[in-house]
Structure 1
């Protein structure tokens, strides 16, 4: 059976060409994202495994310090807890507990102590978390982030915070900031089991290779379909044309 080698219309060529450009472009973008994510994960893991340093005070914010292993000492101001809302852990809804840590000079370092279930928002339900004695806590340095367009505004009066604003949180606590960073604690055991530390995302999901393969596979499939369609047996082509005409 002879093969029918038809010439595709200009419109089809343009559609297929644009589709290929888009699919290949998306695949290449995912490859770029793959290497970016790998470098980001490597940087975070390296920073988090370095010997801990004291949380820097009286310094300018340095983005290169993000996720640097660090420690802090002081007294928790338990009456000034801040609730970072809409945070989940293994599918459970809750919040992350940020408590000012008072230094000897009266200034504070903000400490994200970890995740707490919604039912334990009232401090009376977790009395062991209200540590009154001096503490030495360890974790990683975090940089305050700008408000995302989709996030609600922080509501200090309701004690509902949706992003970390260290300046506003310090002002609401009635204290001066000692550091532009905040400390996110590790998963060391704590009295009573709450808050649950180790919420810093040092390990990040990296599915960009699968996404790249998907886009490139779709591009290849489009090429195969395009070629097969224009090199079908002549009888099949005639049958298809008659059906279309009917």
Structure 2
């Protein structure tokens, strides 16, 4: 069947060109995000797999030390535990239990001990988590967090924290912290099974390749539709 080639209007050319620029731009942005995310995952794995070091006692954390394998030894200050709210695990809502740890030299650091179900906020419901003996704990170093715009404000009076504000937590507990790093514990089993460690996200979801393919596929589809529309069979043109 003979084809009739028509010339697209200026308005259509402009519209299709803008759409292609946007679609290709979004695809390229996702490719950049793909490599950024993969490098971030690799860096976290590299840090977490290094031999553990003692938690550095410094007020100026090095961002390159994030997720570095580390350990600490001392006694938990159980009466000063803090609850990092709105944390989920396998679809269940709970909180992360953060407890100051006093080391043998008197220095105090914050420990994110892991996830606890919402119904166990009262320490009396999980007495085995109130450990009085000297403990040695291992995990990864974390940096002080910055409040995200969607996060609520911390409520120290209600012991409801939504992000780790090291300075505010130190002030609330009345304890001078020896470092602005905090240690997020690994999945080493603990008495009673709570808190559940290993909540640090070393592996991150990385779906940017699928997103890039989607945007590039839409761009290709637009090109195909544009070409086919302007090379229609003569009978279709006549009937329209």
TM-score, normalised to structure 2, is 0.98
Q: How many residues align?
A: 240
What are the within-5 Å matches in structure 2 for residues 172-187 of structure 1?
172-187=172-187
Q: Is the 8 A contact 1:107 1:175 kept in 2?
A: no
Residue matched to 1:205: 205
Select between 105-114 and 31-40 the one with higher mean Cα deviation. Answer: 105-114
Compute the displacement of 1:148 (Å). 0.6
Residue matched to 2:92: 92
Residue matched to 1:132: 132
The separation in 1 between residues aligned to 2:108 and 2:5, in whole angstroms, is 77
Compute the displacement of 1:59 (Å). 4.8
Q: Deviations over 1:16-48 (max 9, x none)?
A: 000000000000000000000110000000000
- Long gaps (5+) in structure 2: none
Do structure 1's residue 71 and structure 2's residue 71 form an aligned pair?
Answer: yes
CA RMSD of aligned residues (A): 0.8
Do structure 1's residue 169 and structure 2's residue 175 form an aligned pair?
Answer: no
The separation in 2 between residues aligned to 1:105 and 1:155, in whole angstroms, is 31
The separation in 2 between residues aligned to 1:32 and 1:13, in whole angstroms, is 28
The separation in 1 between residues aligned to 2:94 and 2:159, in whole angstroms, is 14
SS at match of 1:157: helix
Compute the displacement of 1:58 (Å). 3.1
Q: Is the 8 A contact 1:106 1:175 kept in 2?
A: no
The separation in 1 between residues aligned to 2:2 and 2:121, in whole angstroms, is 76
The separation in 1 between residues aligned to 2:88 and 2:163, in whole angstroms, is 14
Q: Deviations over 1:43-98 (max 9, x none)?
A: 00000000000000035210000000000011101111100000000000000000
Do structure 1's residue 43 and structure 2's residue 43 form an aligned pair?
Answer: yes
SS at match of 2:181: strand
Compute the displacement of 1:106 (Å). 3.3
Do structure 1's residue 116 and structure 2's residue 120 form an aligned pair?
Answer: no
Do structure 1's residue 25 and structure 2's residue 25 form an aligned pair?
Answer: yes
Q: Is the 8 A contact 1:76 1:132 kept in 2?
A: yes
Q: Is the 8 A contact 1:108 1:170 kept in 2?
A: no
The separation in 2 between residues aligned to 1:105 and 1:174, in whole angstroms, is 18
Change (3 A) 1:165 1:59: closer
Which 4+ residue blocks in structure 1 deviate beyond 6 angstroms? none
